[in-house]
Amino acid sequence: MVMKEVETQEEYESLKQESRERLVVIDFYAEWCGPCKMASRPYDELSEKYPDITFVKINIENLESAVEENDVNALPTFAFWKDGKRLESICGTNICKIEEMVEKFK
């Protein structure tokens, strides 16, 4: 399964609307970020393990408004959205912690 890349403000707004119905997890990354590349495959595997949850990626260089709204200060940052609002964000490559948050919020 190919991970969805959110590239426009319209797609981002649609994603926030979708979070009213289900958990949405956003991976904020950059092409030049080594830790982001390390987390990419395990993140993709999480998306396959939890098909009822929406997992997406946002390149920080393409969607600055989303970066600001989610207080992204380090990479990678994973933001968890549900009920139309951001519940929590995690920085770093600890996939076990990300999965804990998925279990907590699903």
Q: Kindly list the structural domains of the chain, giving each domain's residue range(s) and its CATH number in brackets, ordered by start.
A: 4-105 (3.40.30.10)
* pLDDT averaged over every residue in the chain: 96
Q: Where does the pLDDT of residue 3 fall: very low under 50, low under 70, confident under 90, or very high at 90 and above?
A: confident
Mean pLDDT of 30-50: 96
The answer on pLDDT for 2 being more than 70 is no
Mean pLDDT of 37-54: 96
The answer to whether residues 4 and 57 touch, using CB atoms and an 8 Å cutoff, is yes
d(CA 79, CA 93): 13
pTM above 0.75, yes or no: yes
- Cβ atoms < 10 Å from Cβ of 31: 9
The set of catalytic residues is 33, 36
